Structure 1
Protein backbone atom coordinates (compact mmCIF):
# COMPACT_ATOMS: atom_id res chain seq x y z
CA UNK A 1 0.00 0.00 0.00
CA UNK A 2 1.33 3.44 -0.90
CA UNK A 3 1.79 5.94 1.90
CA UNK A 4 0.22 9.36 1.70
CA UNK A 5 2.93 11.64 0.42
CA UNK A 6 4.19 14.62 2.37
CA UNK A 7 4.38 17.88 0.49
CA UNK A 8 7.73 19.61 0.38
CA UNK A 9 7.77 22.75 2.49
CA UNK A 10 8.17 26.02 0.64
CA UNK A 11 11.13 27.14 2.76
CA UNK A 12 13.36 24.20 1.82
CA UNK A 13 16.70 25.63 0.71
CA UNK A 14 17.43 25.00 -2.95
CA UNK A 15 20.83 23.98 -4.22
CA UNK A 16 23.27 26.84 -4.30
CA UNK A 17 24.48 28.28 -7.60
CA UNK A 18 27.95 26.75 -7.73
CA UNK A 19 30.06 28.48 -10.38
CA UNK A 20 33.34 26.71 -9.54
CA UNK A 21 32.89 23.73 -11.79
CA UNK A 22 35.67 21.16 -11.39
CA UNK A 23 36.01 19.00 -8.27
CA UNK A 24 37.31 15.70 -6.92
CA UNK A 25 36.46 13.36 -4.09
CA UNK A 26 38.37 14.00 -0.86
CA UNK A 27 40.22 10.81 0.14
CA UNK A 28 42.40 10.12 3.19
CA UNK A 29 45.38 9.27 0.95
CA UNK A 30 45.62 13.00 0.16
CA UNK A 31 45.14 14.39 3.69
CA UNK A 32 48.83 15.02 4.31
CA UNK A 33 49.36 16.73 0.98
CA UNK A 34 46.30 18.96 1.31
CA UNK A 35 47.09 20.04 4.86
CA UNK A 36 50.22 21.69 3.42
CA UNK A 37 47.85 24.10 1.59
CA UNK A 38 49.23 23.55 -1.94
CA UNK A 39 48.00 25.51 -4.94
CA UNK A 40 45.79 23.08 -6.86
CA UNK A 41 43.70 22.88 -10.02
CA UNK A 42 40.70 21.84 -7.91
CA UNK A 43 37.68 24.12 -7.50
CA UNK A 44 35.82 22.08 -4.85
CA UNK A 45 35.79 18.75 -3.00
CA UNK A 46 33.12 16.13 -2.48
CA UNK A 47 33.12 14.13 0.76
CA UNK A 48 31.37 10.88 1.65
CA UNK A 49 28.91 12.08 4.29
CA UNK A 50 29.06 8.96 6.46
CA UNK A 51 32.84 9.29 6.88
CA UNK A 52 32.37 12.56 8.79
CA UNK A 53 28.98 12.21 10.48
CA UNK A 54 29.02 12.13 14.27
CA UNK A 55 32.81 11.94 14.43
CA UNK A 56 35.78 14.07 15.40
CA UNK A 57 39.53 13.56 15.18
CA UNK A 58 41.93 14.06 12.30
CA UNK A 59 39.49 13.44 9.42
CA UNK A 60 37.19 16.22 10.62
CA UNK A 61 40.13 18.50 11.41
CA UNK A 62 41.48 18.05 7.88
CA UNK A 63 38.05 18.56 6.36
CA UNK A 64 37.41 21.77 8.27
CA UNK A 65 40.81 23.07 7.21
CA UNK A 66 40.02 22.31 3.58
CA UNK A 67 36.55 23.84 3.95
CA UNK A 68 38.18 27.20 4.71
CA UNK A 69 39.60 27.25 1.19
CA UNK A 70 37.17 25.20 -0.93
CA UNK A 71 33.42 24.66 -1.34
CA UNK A 72 32.25 21.22 -0.21
CA UNK A 73 29.57 18.81 -1.49
CA UNK A 74 28.25 16.03 0.79
CA UNK A 75 27.62 12.71 -0.98
CA UNK A 76 25.91 9.94 0.97
CA UNK A 77 25.87 6.17 0.59
CA UNK A 78 23.65 5.24 3.52
CA UNK A 79 20.36 7.11 3.23
CA UNK A 80 18.66 4.10 1.58
CA UNK A 81 16.06 6.13 -0.31
CA UNK A 82 14.84 2.97 -2.06
CA UNK A 83 14.16 0.93 1.07
CA UNK A 84 10.66 -0.12 2.08
CA UNK A 85 11.69 0.97 5.60
CA UNK A 86 11.22 4.56 6.68
CA UNK A 87 14.33 6.73 6.54
CA UNK A 88 16.28 6.50 9.79
CA UNK A 89 15.59 9.75 11.71
CA UNK A 90 18.82 9.41 13.70
CA UNK A 91 20.78 9.20 10.47
CA UNK A 92 19.17 12.44 9.31
CA UNK A 93 19.93 14.17 12.60
CA UNK A 94 23.62 13.30 12.24
CA UNK A 95 23.62 14.38 8.60
CA UNK A 96 21.90 17.65 9.47
CA UNK A 97 24.58 18.41 12.07
CA UNK A 98 27.26 17.81 9.43
CA UNK A 99 25.45 20.07 6.97
CA UNK A 100 25.20 22.87 9.53
CA UNK A 101 28.91 22.50 10.23
CA UNK A 102 30.13 22.43 6.63
CA UNK A 103 27.44 24.39 4.77
CA UNK A 104 27.85 22.27 1.61
CA UNK A 105 26.61 23.61 -1.69
CA UNK A 106 25.09 20.21 -2.53
CA UNK A 107 23.77 17.16 -0.66
CA UNK A 108 23.27 13.90 -2.55
CA UNK A 109 22.63 10.18 -2.24
CA UNK A 110 21.67 7.29 -4.51
CA UNK A 111 18.57 5.84 -6.12
CA UNK A 112 19.13 2.58 -4.23
CA UNK A 113 18.52 0.77 -0.96
CA UNK A 114 20.91 -0.81 1.53
CA UNK A 115 18.88 -0.96 4.74
CA UNK A 116 16.27 -3.57 5.68
CA UNK A 117 14.74 -4.43 9.06
CA UNK A 118 17.49 -2.70 10.96
CA UNK A 119 20.32 -4.29 8.98
CA UNK A 120 22.55 -2.08 6.86
CA UNK A 121 24.16 -3.66 3.80
CA UNK A 122 27.40 -2.45 2.28
CA UNK A 123 26.14 -2.42 -1.28
CA UNK A 124 23.85 -0.11 -3.24
CA UNK A 125 20.94 -2.30 -4.36
CA UNK A 126 18.80 -1.12 -7.30
CA UNK A 127 15.06 -0.57 -7.00
CA UNK A 128 12.26 -1.75 -9.28
CA UNK A 129 11.05 1.01 -11.57
CA UNK A 130 7.28 1.07 -11.27
CA UNK A 131 4.54 3.31 -9.85
CA UNK A 132 4.44 1.80 -6.37
CA UNK A 133 8.16 2.16 -5.73
CA UNK A 134 8.03 5.64 -7.28
CA UNK A 135 5.46 6.68 -4.67
CA UNK A 136 7.42 5.17 -1.77
CA UNK A 137 10.72 6.77 -2.84
CA UNK A 138 9.05 10.12 -3.53
CA UNK A 139 7.71 9.94 0.03
CA UNK A 140 11.21 9.30 1.34
CA UNK A 141 12.68 12.20 -0.63
CA UNK A 142 9.94 14.54 0.61
CA UNK A 143 10.67 13.45 4.17
CA UNK A 144 14.44 13.94 3.80
CA UNK A 145 14.13 17.35 2.16
CA UNK A 146 11.67 18.52 4.80
CA UNK A 147 13.83 17.28 7.68
CA UNK A 148 17.06 18.69 6.28
CA UNK A 149 15.35 21.80 4.94
CA UNK A 150 17.52 21.35 1.88
CA UNK A 151 16.96 20.11 -1.64
CA UNK A 152 18.87 16.90 -2.36
CA UNK A 153 20.30 15.40 -5.53
CA UNK A 154 19.67 11.73 -6.39
CA UNK A 155 22.28 9.71 -8.29
CA UNK A 156 21.68 6.99 -10.88
CA UNK A 157 23.56 3.83 -9.88
CA UNK A 158 25.40 1.02 -11.60
CA UNK A 159 23.40 -2.22 -11.39
CA UNK A 160 24.02 -5.86 -12.21
CA UNK A 161 20.47 -7.19 -12.39
CA UNK A 162 17.02 -5.97 -13.44
CA UNK A 163 13.57 -6.50 -11.93
CA UNK A 164 10.95 -8.26 -14.04
CA UNK A 165 8.33 -6.06 -12.39
CA UNK A 166 9.79 -2.78 -13.72
CA UNK A 167 7.49 -0.87 -16.05
CA UNK A 168 9.91 1.91 -16.98
CA UNK A 169 13.65 2.49 -17.18
CA UNK A 170 15.83 4.25 -14.62
CA UNK A 171 16.03 7.50 -16.57
CA UNK A 172 12.24 7.76 -16.82
CA UNK A 173 11.94 6.92 -13.12
CA UNK A 174 14.42 9.64 -12.13
CA UNK A 175 12.65 12.17 -14.32
CA UNK A 176 9.34 11.45 -12.58
CA UNK A 177 11.01 11.75 -9.16
CA UNK A 178 12.17 15.28 -10.00
CA UNK A 179 8.62 16.21 -11.00
CA UNK A 180 7.05 14.74 -7.85
CA UNK A 181 9.54 15.98 -5.25
CA UNK A 182 11.54 18.88 -6.65
CA UNK A 183 14.77 16.96 -6.08
CA UNK A 184 17.63 17.29 -8.54
CA UNK A 185 19.79 14.68 -10.30
CA UNK A 186 23.42 13.76 -9.79
CA UNK A 187 24.19 12.33 -13.21
CA UNK A 188 26.90 9.66 -13.12
CA UNK A 189 28.18 9.23 -16.67
CA UNK A 190 30.29 6.19 -15.81
CA UNK A 191 27.32 4.39 -14.26
CA UNK A 192 25.26 5.06 -17.36
CA UNK A 193 27.97 3.65 -19.59
CA UNK A 194 28.51 0.56 -17.40
CA UNK A 195 24.78 -0.22 -17.39
CA UNK A 196 24.48 0.45 -21.12
CA UNK A 197 27.17 -2.11 -21.89
CA UNK A 198 25.90 -4.66 -19.38
CA UNK A 199 22.24 -4.37 -20.36
CA UNK A 200 22.68 -3.37 -24.02
CA UNK A 201 21.01 0.01 -24.43
CA UNK A 202 22.07 3.35 -25.89
CA UNK A 203 23.48 5.47 -23.03
CA UNK A 204 22.72 8.71 -24.84
CA UNK A 205 19.03 7.78 -24.86
CA UNK A 206 19.20 7.53 -21.07
CA UNK A 207 20.68 11.02 -20.72
CA UNK A 208 18.08 12.47 -23.06
CA UNK A 209 15.31 11.34 -20.70
CA UNK A 210 16.73 13.41 -17.81
CA UNK A 211 15.40 17.00 -17.69
CA UNK A 212 18.41 19.20 -18.36
CA UNK A 213 17.43 21.76 -15.74
CA UNK A 214 17.30 19.05 -13.04
CA UNK A 215 20.97 18.03 -13.38
CA UNK A 216 22.87 19.49 -10.42
CA UNK A 217 26.17 17.60 -10.65
CA UNK A 218 28.05 15.15 -12.88
CA UNK A 219 30.26 12.25 -11.78
CA UNK A 220 33.03 10.73 -13.90
CA UNK A 221 34.91 7.61 -12.82
CA UNK A 222 36.71 4.49 -14.01
CA UNK A 223 35.25 1.00 -14.35
CA UNK A 224 36.94 -2.41 -14.45
CA UNK A 225 36.36 -4.73 -17.39
CA UNK A 226 35.64 -8.16 -15.92
CA UNK A 227 35.52 -9.84 -19.33
CA UNK A 228 31.83 -10.67 -19.46
CA UNK A 229 30.65 -7.46 -17.83
CA UNK A 230 31.84 -4.06 -16.64
CA UNK A 231 32.21 -3.43 -12.91
CA UNK A 232 31.93 0.07 -11.42
CA UNK A 233 35.04 0.05 -9.21
CA UNK A 234 36.29 3.67 -9.27
CA UNK A 235 39.73 2.07 -9.30
CA UNK A 236 41.02 3.21 -12.70
CA UNK A 237 41.26 6.35 -14.83
CA UNK A 238 38.13 7.34 -16.74
CA UNK A 239 37.96 5.14 -19.83
CA UNK A 240 37.94 6.71 -23.27
CA UNK A 241 34.43 5.45 -23.98
CA UNK A 242 33.16 7.34 -20.91
CA UNK A 243 35.01 10.48 -21.98
CA UNK A 244 33.35 10.10 -25.39
CA UNK A 245 29.91 9.83 -23.81
CA UNK A 246 30.59 12.83 -21.59
CA UNK A 247 31.77 14.88 -24.54
CA UNK A 248 28.77 14.01 -26.65
CA UNK A 249 26.43 14.73 -23.74
CA UNK A 250 27.54 18.32 -23.15
CA UNK A 251 24.56 19.80 -24.95
CA UNK A 252 22.26 17.77 -22.68
CA UNK A 253 23.67 19.03 -19.35
CA UNK A 254 23.68 22.57 -17.90
CA UNK A 255 26.61 24.70 -19.02
CA UNK A 256 28.06 25.37 -15.55
CA UNK A 257 27.11 22.15 -13.78
CA UNK A 258 29.71 21.01 -11.21
CA UNK A 259 31.74 18.06 -12.53
CA UNK A 260 33.97 15.77 -10.51
CA UNK A 261 36.23 12.73 -10.69
CA UNK A 262 35.56 9.80 -8.34
CA UNK A 263 38.56 7.60 -7.53
CA UNK A 264 38.08 5.34 -4.51
CA UNK A 265 40.41 2.35 -4.96
CA UNK A 266 44.06 2.31 -6.04
CA UNK A 267 43.98 6.05 -5.31
CA UNK A 268 46.78 7.81 -7.25
CA UNK A 269 48.97 10.69 -6.16
CA UNK A 270 47.11 13.97 -6.07
CA UNK A 271 48.76 15.42 -9.19
CA UNK A 272 47.51 12.43 -11.20
CA UNK A 273 43.99 13.08 -9.95
CA UNK A 274 44.35 16.71 -11.00
CA UNK A 275 45.51 15.62 -14.45
CA UNK A 276 42.43 13.42 -14.80
CA UNK A 277 40.16 16.30 -13.81
CA UNK A 278 41.90 18.57 -16.29
CA UNK A 279 40.81 16.21 -19.07
CA UNK A 280 37.22 17.08 -18.16
CA UNK A 281 38.15 20.76 -18.10
CA UNK A 282 39.65 20.48 -21.59
CA UNK A 283 36.56 18.72 -22.96
CA UNK A 284 34.28 21.34 -21.41
CA UNK A 285 36.41 24.12 -22.89
CA UNK A 286 36.07 22.55 -26.33
CA UNK A 287 32.32 22.28 -25.83
CA UNK A 288 31.94 25.99 -25.07
CA UNK A 289 33.54 26.66 -28.45
CA UNK A 290 31.03 24.34 -30.16
CA UNK A 291 33.88 22.02 -31.10
CA UNK A 292 32.50 18.96 -29.34
CA UNK A 293 33.41 15.85 -31.28
CA UNK A 294 30.32 13.77 -32.03
CA UNK A 295 30.99 10.09 -31.66
CA UNK A 296 29.18 6.77 -31.49
CA UNK A 297 32.12 4.84 -30.01
CA UNK A 298 30.29 4.40 -26.71
CA UNK A 299 27.22 2.80 -28.27
CA UNK A 300 27.04 -0.90 -27.25
Structure 2
Protein backbone atom coordinates (compact mmCIF):
# COMPACT_ATOMS: atom_id res chain seq x y z
CA UNK A 1 0.00 0.00 0.00
CA UNK A 2 3.03 2.31 0.36
CA UNK A 3 2.72 3.53 -3.25
CA UNK A 4 -0.10 5.83 -2.06
CA UNK A 5 1.37 7.97 0.72
CA UNK A 6 1.44 11.39 2.34
CA UNK A 7 -1.11 14.15 2.92
CA UNK A 8 -3.88 14.38 0.36
CA UNK A 9 -7.28 15.72 -0.60
CA UNK A 10 -10.41 13.94 -1.78
CA UNK A 11 -10.91 15.99 -4.93
CA UNK A 12 -14.23 17.62 -5.86
CA UNK A 13 -15.16 19.58 -9.03
CA UNK A 14 -15.74 22.74 -6.96
CA UNK A 15 -12.00 22.81 -6.23
CA UNK A 16 -11.20 23.49 -9.89
CA UNK A 17 -10.59 27.23 -9.40
CA UNK A 18 -7.72 26.55 -7.00
CA UNK A 19 -6.60 23.12 -8.14
CA UNK A 20 -3.08 24.31 -8.90
CA UNK A 21 -2.66 25.57 -5.34
CA UNK A 22 -3.94 22.26 -4.01
CA UNK A 23 -1.59 20.31 -6.24
CA UNK A 24 1.34 22.22 -4.76
CA UNK A 25 0.55 21.36 -1.13
CA UNK A 26 -0.64 17.74 -1.26
CA UNK A 27 1.34 14.57 -1.87
CA UNK A 28 -1.44 12.38 -3.26
CA UNK A 29 -5.07 12.69 -4.29
CA UNK A 30 -8.24 10.63 -3.96
CA UNK A 31 -10.96 10.85 -6.58
CA UNK A 32 -14.52 9.56 -6.58
CA UNK A 33 -14.70 6.44 -8.73
CA UNK A 34 -18.28 6.91 -9.92
CA UNK A 35 -17.73 10.63 -10.53
CA UNK A 36 -14.59 10.18 -12.61
CA UNK A 37 -15.12 7.20 -14.88
CA UNK A 38 -15.72 7.06 -17.72
CA UNK A 39 -13.27 9.92 -18.20
CA UNK A 40 -14.81 13.18 -19.38
CA UNK A 41 -17.01 13.94 -16.40
CA UNK A 42 -16.70 17.20 -14.47
CA UNK A 43 -13.76 17.10 -12.09
CA UNK A 44 -11.56 14.68 -14.00
CA UNK A 45 -8.96 17.40 -14.60
CA UNK A 46 -7.27 15.96 -11.51
CA UNK A 47 -6.33 12.88 -13.53
CA UNK A 48 -3.67 15.08 -15.12
CA UNK A 49 -1.93 15.67 -11.80
CA UNK A 50 1.46 13.90 -11.44
CA UNK A 51 0.56 12.69 -7.93
CA UNK A 52 -0.27 9.10 -7.00
CA UNK A 53 -4.04 8.59 -7.07
CA UNK A 54 -6.61 6.41 -5.32
CA UNK A 55 -10.24 5.98 -6.37
CA UNK A 56 -12.92 5.90 -3.68
CA UNK A 57 -16.19 4.19 -4.64
CA UNK A 58 -19.64 4.55 -3.11
CA UNK A 59 -21.78 2.03 -4.98
CA UNK A 60 -19.75 -1.11 -5.71
CA UNK A 61 -21.31 -2.61 -2.57
CA UNK A 62 -18.85 -5.50 -2.06
CA UNK A 63 -20.89 -6.85 0.85
CA UNK A 64 -23.98 -7.60 -1.24
CA UNK A 65 -24.94 -11.26 -1.64
CA UNK A 66 -25.23 -11.04 -5.43
CA UNK A 67 -21.99 -9.12 -5.96
CA UNK A 68 -20.57 -9.73 -9.43
CA UNK A 69 -17.94 -8.16 -11.64
CA UNK A 70 -20.07 -7.09 -14.60
CA UNK A 71 -18.48 -6.32 -18.00
CA UNK A 72 -19.25 -2.61 -17.59
CA UNK A 73 -17.38 -2.55 -14.28
CA UNK A 74 -14.38 -4.30 -15.83
CA UNK A 75 -14.20 -1.55 -18.46
CA UNK A 76 -14.34 1.19 -15.82
CA UNK A 77 -11.69 -0.54 -13.72
CA UNK A 78 -9.42 -0.81 -16.76
CA UNK A 79 -9.94 2.89 -17.49
CA UNK A 80 -9.08 3.75 -13.88
CA UNK A 81 -5.93 1.67 -14.09
CA UNK A 82 -4.94 3.29 -17.41
CA UNK A 83 -5.33 6.72 -15.79
CA UNK A 84 -2.91 6.04 -12.97
CA UNK A 85 -5.19 4.82 -10.18
CA UNK A 86 -3.11 2.62 -7.85
CA UNK A 87 -5.65 1.87 -5.10
CA UNK A 88 -9.43 1.31 -5.10
CA UNK A 89 -11.63 1.53 -2.01
CA UNK A 90 -15.28 1.14 -1.04
CA UNK A 91 -17.22 0.64 2.18
CA UNK A 92 -17.64 -2.50 4.27
CA UNK A 93 -21.41 -2.29 3.94
CA UNK A 94 -24.35 -2.55 1.57
CA UNK A 95 -25.08 0.41 -0.70
CA UNK A 96 -27.50 -1.60 -2.83
CA UNK A 97 -29.71 -4.67 -2.56
CA UNK A 98 -30.57 -6.31 -5.84
CA UNK A 99 -31.52 -3.55 -8.29
CA UNK A 100 -32.30 -1.06 -5.51
CA UNK A 101 -29.90 1.53 -4.12
CA UNK A 102 -30.19 2.37 -0.43
CA UNK A 103 -30.03 5.94 0.91
CA UNK A 104 -27.24 5.16 3.35
CA UNK A 105 -24.79 2.35 3.98
CA UNK A 106 -26.38 -0.71 5.63
CA UNK A 107 -24.33 -2.59 8.19
CA UNK A 108 -23.14 -6.13 7.56
CA UNK A 109 -24.23 -9.02 9.74
CA UNK A 110 -21.08 -9.74 11.72
CA UNK A 111 -20.58 -13.50 11.53
CA UNK A 112 -17.64 -15.64 10.43
CA UNK A 113 -19.59 -16.91 7.43
CA UNK A 114 -20.40 -13.37 6.28
CA UNK A 115 -16.78 -12.31 6.76
CA UNK A 116 -15.61 -15.18 4.53
CA UNK A 117 -18.22 -14.41 1.85
CA UNK A 118 -17.44 -10.68 1.76
CA UNK A 119 -13.72 -11.39 1.72
CA UNK A 120 -14.28 -13.49 -1.38
CA UNK A 121 -16.07 -10.59 -3.06
CA UNK A 122 -13.23 -8.22 -2.19
CA UNK A 123 -10.64 -10.67 -3.54
CA UNK A 124 -12.63 -10.92 -6.79
CA UNK A 125 -12.75 -7.12 -7.02
CA UNK A 126 -8.99 -6.89 -6.48
CA UNK A 127 -8.37 -9.47 -9.21
CA UNK A 128 -10.60 -7.61 -11.66
CA UNK A 129 -9.12 -4.22 -10.77
CA UNK A 130 -5.53 -5.49 -10.89
CA UNK A 131 -4.64 -3.13 -8.05
CA UNK A 132 -4.77 -3.01 -4.27
CA UNK A 133 -8.25 -2.75 -2.74
CA UNK A 134 -9.18 -1.32 0.66
CA UNK A 135 -12.46 -1.23 2.59
CA UNK A 136 -13.72 1.62 4.77
CA UNK A 137 -15.56 1.55 8.09
CA UNK A 138 -18.97 3.17 7.49
CA UNK A 139 -21.11 4.96 10.06
CA UNK A 140 -23.26 2.36 11.84
CA UNK A 141 -26.67 3.41 13.14
CA UNK A 142 -28.14 -0.06 13.74
CA UNK A 143 -26.58 -3.35 14.81
CA UNK A 144 -27.90 -6.69 13.58
CA UNK A 145 -29.55 -9.02 16.14
CA UNK A 146 -27.57 -11.94 14.72
CA UNK A 147 -24.16 -10.28 15.14
CA UNK A 148 -21.74 -12.84 16.59
CA UNK A 149 -18.56 -10.75 16.46
CA UNK A 150 -17.50 -7.28 17.54
CA UNK A 151 -16.99 -4.80 14.71
CA UNK A 152 -13.20 -4.90 15.01
CA UNK A 153 -13.18 -8.71 15.10
CA UNK A 154 -15.30 -8.72 11.96
CA UNK A 155 -13.18 -6.10 10.20
CA UNK A 156 -9.92 -7.86 11.06
CA UNK A 157 -11.30 -11.17 9.81
CA UNK A 158 -12.36 -9.64 6.48
CA UNK A 159 -9.03 -7.83 6.07
CA UNK A 160 -6.92 -10.88 6.74
CA UNK A 161 -9.08 -13.35 4.80
CA UNK A 162 -9.25 -11.07 1.76
CA UNK A 163 -5.63 -9.97 2.19
CA UNK A 164 -6.69 -6.36 1.66
CA UNK A 165 -6.20 -3.00 3.29
CA UNK A 166 -8.50 -0.67 5.21
CA UNK A 167 -9.41 2.98 4.88
CA UNK A 168 -9.92 3.99 8.49
CA UNK A 169 -12.35 6.90 8.41
CA UNK A 170 -11.54 8.67 11.67
CA UNK A 171 -14.62 10.89 11.47
CA UNK A 172 -16.92 7.88 10.93
CA UNK A 173 -15.31 6.19 13.93
CA UNK A 174 -15.76 9.29 16.09
CA UNK A 175 -19.44 9.54 15.06
CA UNK A 176 -20.05 5.87 15.84
CA UNK A 177 -18.33 6.16 19.20
CA UNK A 178 -20.46 9.15 20.21
CA UNK A 179 -23.73 7.72 18.88
CA UNK A 180 -23.18 4.22 20.28
CA UNK A 181 -21.19 5.02 23.45
CA UNK A 182 -17.91 3.19 22.99
CA UNK A 183 -14.23 4.18 23.16
CA UNK A 184 -12.84 4.98 19.68
CA UNK A 185 -9.28 4.67 20.97
CA UNK A 186 -9.93 1.07 22.03
CA UNK A 187 -11.40 0.45 18.56
CA UNK A 188 -8.17 1.60 16.91
CA UNK A 189 -6.07 -0.45 19.33
CA UNK A 190 -8.12 -3.53 18.39
CA UNK A 191 -7.53 -3.18 14.65
CA UNK A 192 -4.72 -4.87 12.75
CA UNK A 193 -2.80 -1.61 12.35
CA UNK A 194 -0.56 -2.94 9.61
CA UNK A 195 -3.65 -3.38 7.40
CA UNK A 196 -4.53 0.33 7.50
CA UNK A 197 -3.79 1.68 4.01
CA UNK A 198 -4.79 5.26 4.69
CA UNK A 199 -7.01 7.48 6.82
CA UNK A 200 -9.96 9.76 6.11
CA UNK A 201 -10.72 12.87 8.14
CA UNK A 202 -13.77 15.11 7.71
CA UNK A 203 -16.37 17.21 9.45
CA UNK A 204 -19.79 16.14 10.70
CA UNK A 205 -23.18 17.59 11.63
CA UNK A 206 -25.65 17.27 14.50
CA UNK A 207 -29.14 16.01 13.67
CA UNK A 208 -31.86 15.17 16.22
CA UNK A 209 -29.45 14.15 18.91
CA UNK A 210 -27.12 12.18 16.62
CA UNK A 211 -23.93 12.95 14.78
CA UNK A 212 -24.03 12.37 11.02
CA UNK A 213 -21.21 12.13 8.49
CA UNK A 214 -21.79 15.24 6.41
CA UNK A 215 -18.35 16.46 5.22
CA UNK A 216 -19.84 19.97 5.26
CA UNK A 217 -18.15 21.50 8.31
CA UNK A 218 -14.71 21.99 9.76
CA UNK A 219 -13.00 18.98 11.32
CA UNK A 220 -13.84 18.80 15.02
CA UNK A 221 -10.98 19.25 17.52
CA UNK A 222 -11.64 15.80 18.99
CA UNK A 223 -11.46 14.25 15.52
CA UNK A 224 -8.06 15.87 15.01
CA UNK A 225 -6.97 14.33 18.33
CA UNK A 226 -8.23 10.91 17.25
CA UNK A 227 -6.39 11.28 13.94
CA UNK A 228 -3.20 12.07 15.83
CA UNK A 229 -3.61 8.86 17.83
CA UNK A 230 -4.39 6.81 14.69
CA UNK A 231 -1.27 8.04 12.91
CA UNK A 232 0.78 7.16 15.97
CA UNK A 233 -0.56 3.62 16.36
CA UNK A 234 -1.23 2.30 12.85
CA UNK A 235 0.80 1.81 9.71
CA UNK A 236 -1.34 4.21 7.65
CA UNK A 237 0.74 5.56 4.78
CA UNK A 238 -1.56 8.47 3.87
CA UNK A 239 -4.28 10.70 5.28
CA UNK A 240 -6.98 12.32 3.14
CA UNK A 241 -9.16 15.36 3.88
CA UNK A 242 -12.78 15.01 2.70
CA UNK A 243 -14.84 18.15 2.10
CA UNK A 244 -18.00 17.76 0.03
CA UNK A 245 -20.03 20.93 -0.10
CA UNK A 246 -19.51 24.34 -1.66
CA UNK A 247 -19.66 26.32 1.59
CA UNK A 248 -15.97 25.94 2.43
CA UNK A 249 -13.75 28.63 1.03
CA UNK A 250 -10.38 28.00 -0.52
CA UNK A 251 -8.71 29.40 2.59
CA UNK A 252 -10.66 27.12 4.93
CA UNK A 253 -9.61 24.05 2.96
CA UNK A 254 -5.99 25.19 2.83
CA UNK A 255 -6.07 25.86 6.58
CA UNK A 256 -7.34 22.34 7.31
CA UNK A 257 -4.65 20.89 5.06
CA UNK A 258 -2.09 22.87 7.11
CA UNK A 259 -3.42 21.29 10.31
CA UNK A 260 -3.35 17.90 8.65
CA UNK A 261 0.26 18.42 7.56
CA UNK A 262 1.34 19.43 11.06
CA UNK A 263 -0.18 16.28 12.58
CA UNK A 264 1.32 14.16 9.80
CA UNK A 265 4.78 15.62 10.42
CA UNK A 266 4.67 14.57 14.06
CA UNK A 267 4.49 10.93 12.99
CA UNK A 268 5.90 10.58 9.47
CA UNK A 269 8.98 11.93 7.79
CA UNK A 270 8.97 12.76 4.09
CA UNK A 271 6.41 11.86 1.44
CA UNK A 272 6.22 9.40 -1.40
CA UNK A 273 3.84 10.83 -3.97
CA UNK A 274 4.55 14.39 -5.00
CA UNK A 275 6.24 14.84 -8.36
Q: TM-score, normalised by structure 1?
A: 0.83
1:53 aligns with 2:24: no
Pairwise CA distance, 1:234? 0.8
Residue in structure 1 matched with residue 16 of structure 2 by the alignment: 31
Pairwise CA distance, 1:91? 4.8
- Count of aligned residue pairs for this structure pair: 269
Larger relative contact order (C-alpha < 8 A, sep ≥ 6)? 2
Give yes or no for contact 1:184–1:216 (8 Å, CA) kept in 2.
yes
User: Please, which of 132, 155, 160 is the counterpart of residue 136 of structure 2?
Assistant: 155
C-alpha distance in 2, partners of 1:258/1:95? 25
Residue in structure 2 matched with residue 285 of structure 1 by the alignment: 265
1:270 aligns with 2:250: yes
Residue in structure 1 matched with residue 47 of structure 2 by the alignment: 64
Give yes or no for contact 2:35–2:41 (8 Å, CA) kept in 1.
no
* Aligned-CA RMSD value: 2.1
Give yes or no for contact 1:236–1:266 (8 Å, CA) kept in 2.
no
In structure 2, runs of 5+ residues without a counterpart are 270-275
Residue in structure 1 matched with residue 3 of structure 2 by the alignment: 17
User: Please, which of 78, 99, 122 is the counterpart of residue 141 of structure 1?
Assistant: 122
1:259 aligns with 2:239: yes
1:209-228 equivalences under 5 Å are 209-228=190-209
C-alpha distance in 2, partners of 1:143/1:102? 21
Residue in structure 2 matched with residue 292 of structure 1 by the alignment: none
C-alpha distance in 1, partners of 2:99/2:13? 29
C-alpha distance in 2, partners of 1:276/1:140? 36
Residues 212-270 of structure 1 deviation map (CA, whole Å, 9 limit, x = unaligned): 1111110001111225111111111110111111223332112x611011111244223
C-alpha distance in 2, partners of 1:57/1:200? 41
What is the SS of the residue equivalent to 2:43?
helix
What is the SS of the residue equivalent to 1:264?
coil
Pairwise CA distance, 1:101? 2.4
What is the SS of the residue equivalent to 1:249?
helix
Task: Tell me which moved more, 36-45 or 223-232.
Answer: 36-45
C-alpha distance in 2, partners of 1:169/1:266? 37
Give yes or no for contact 2:54–2:86 (8 Å, CA) kept in 1.
yes
Residue in structure 2 matched with residue 126 of structure 1 by the alignment: 107
Give yes or no for contact 1:190–1:223 (8 Å, CA) kept in 2.
yes
What is the SS of the residue equivalent to 2:85?
coil
Q: Over alpha carbons, which structure has the higher Rg? A: 1
C-alpha distance in 2, partners of 1:18/1:233? 25
Distance 1:22 1:129, change over 3 A: same
Give yes or no for contact 2:137–2:169 (8 Å, CA) kept in 1.
yes
Distance 1:30 1:163, change over 3 A: same
Pairwise CA distance, 1:81? 1.0
Task: Tell me which moved more, 46-55 or 213-222.
Answer: 46-55
In structure 1, runs of 5+ residues without a counterpart are 1-14, 290-300
Give yes or no for contact 1:25–1:46 (8 Å, CA) kept in 2.
yes
Give yes or no for contact 2:37–2:80 (8 Å, CA) kept in 1.
no
Structure having the higher strand fraction is: 2
C-alpha distance in 2, partners of 1:39/1:73? 15
Give yes or no for contact 1:81–1:112 (8 Å, CA) kept in 2.
yes
